[in-house]
Structure 1
């Protein structure tokens, strides 16, 4: 079972999913007309006023789903996340079936969102800037600006919206501690080049780089990148014919995004350039879980990656 992080979500009461944490005095501010404390949250698309402690949270991107569940908050709704919801439910002891799926990341179902009567909506401007005004009519809406390596900043923004900044800072401190343990156990991450490959199908292989979520985690540990993949971009696009660029000492690879990716990974690894890669020849290639390494985009996702790396270190 994945290592639990954050606070454990409380059970649903009376058909409504409530946040699992109590009041958050560190974010105290002015009071609303109803007497609830309010706070002004500055985000990618402006400033949003939030009253009290949100109890019916809807998240429309995987990073925000990771963020709120890491803080012990079970959202009333989220978008389809390719298995991430179930992974997080296992990590944080809640029932994924209690969370309503409201469309996809690309096309959230706004009617379904409205039916949930949210008091806070969290998402990312890259995904949903075009529907910000519509979402804001349904509930106070907070949008982070970017994706990928900025996951810590995004986590803190979600925590601010929830009134849980102190808890988030504690979790990031715990992440830093675990990163230090992995780095020490690996012994020489600064002398180890790594690559992270994801087979997408149709000849597309993504080599994730330092600008990605997973790249930032590996950067924090102190790993380095082969010259062709050493970029602050999110990823480098490869093909089966350009795999020779993967000169790293270690390769982490996902067997695919869907059936087409899995078929391609099997085909590529059956011969050709794959068998000539230094990491493959050295027995230093490791299969990874797609949802854990690529979809979490938050502290729980990072924690699951560190779990996997701890197992790899122990087996070396």
Structure 2
């Protein structure tokens, strides 16, 4: 019998099932195209109304940060960070970020000795006073960290190279820690570091007991050409204050430091003196003071409580790693 149009070739009982299969596939494909998602109401499937679950939100590529000079956009996850002061280096490393470039204090020095195990592979990009902008640009940074004291005057040049976050004066290290942590996406880590710092100081105060209020701490730094007493607003002075230790009357004031001449030798006295030297190979300004008869008359000298400590973390550090080492020294010399 001639085959009619629309019939399958072969036996009719075999053709009919295939027609039903093809019809079912067509319906499934049509529903899938209309629904645009999974069929069913299990976990991850469509809702009862047939709507899809919302897709996870994409992480922003940038975030806004307000620093000492203006509000800017920085990468959400900086990968190539350059730091332009010792405090910024300390803070970045404490937050688990290894910079691709960093300045050194001066041409004769390297990175602070207390960070020697963490700075391998970091390229030098000039000094604090004279950052090498060409070298910085060649590193192709995606974020630069500095502060108003050091580089406010070249901020416009720096931000042409990469987004630049400018902190407050470096002695206000806790504020800068929070700011740079925000820029680096490490806010929780910064909070943990500050909590550890406070907990360590609480332990120190407890161990000192009644001696805490009666131990006046004198801070003296020898520069190549002059000596200084460090006050409450200096880095080391702020830690002494946080520890609850009093200062001698001549040093119990706001400010960072004051120069000391021979007639001010009595202002160096205290129950304990911490002395730290910057650039000692270029000059020791404290030596002439120590030869003066007034020096031997200081109570702290007569009692043998003058302690030389590392300028790297007492003077240059300006970050949480250095702060921890200063507190370690307080335990070592005052509360062993």
**TM-score, length-normalised on structure 2?**
0.78
Tell me what 2:323 maps to. 302
Structure-2 separation of matches of 1:103 and 1:74: 17
Alpha-carbon distance change, 126 to 314 in structure 1, aligned in 2, over 3 angstroms: closer
Consecutive unaligned residues in structure 1, runs of 5 or more: 1-29
1:314 CA drift (Å): 4.7
Q: Is the 8 Å Cα contact of residues 112 and 316 (structure 2) preserved in structure 1?
A: no
Equivalent residue for 2:249, pick from 211, 227, 237: 227
Give the stretch that moved more between structures: 238-247 or 122-131: 238-247
Q: Is the 8 Å Cα contact of residues 42 and 48 (structure 1) preserved in structure 2?
A: yes
Tell me what 1:19 maps to. none
Aligned length: 276
Tell me what 2:205 maps to. 183
- Within the alignment, does 1:159 sit opposite 2:159 as a pair? no
Q: Is the 8 Å Cα contact of residues 214 and 293 (structure 1) preserved in structure 2?
A: yes
Equivalent residue runs for 1:16-165 within 5 Å: 36-81=60-105, 82-90=109-117, 94=118, 96-148=119-171, 150-165=172-187
1:267 CA drift (Å): 4.0
Structure-2 separation of matches of 1:163 and 1:256: 34
Q: Which structure has the bigger radius of gyration?
A: 2
Equivalent residue for 2:271, pick from 235, 238, 249: 249
Higher RCO structure, 1 or 2 (CA under 8 Å, sep 6+)? 1
**TM-score, length-normalised on structure 1?**
0.82
RMSD value, Cα: 1.8
1:84 CA drift (Å): 4.2
Structure-2 separation of matches of 1:259 and 1:265: 13
1:179 CA drift (Å): 0.8
Tell me what 2:7 maps to. none
Tell me what 1:265 maps to. 286
Q: Is the 8 Å Cα contact of residues 103 and 128 (structure 2) preserved in structure 1?
A: yes
Structure-1 separation of matches of 2:277 and 2:127: 23
Consecutive unaligned residues in structure 2, runs of 5 or more: 1-56
1:261 CA drift (Å): 3.6
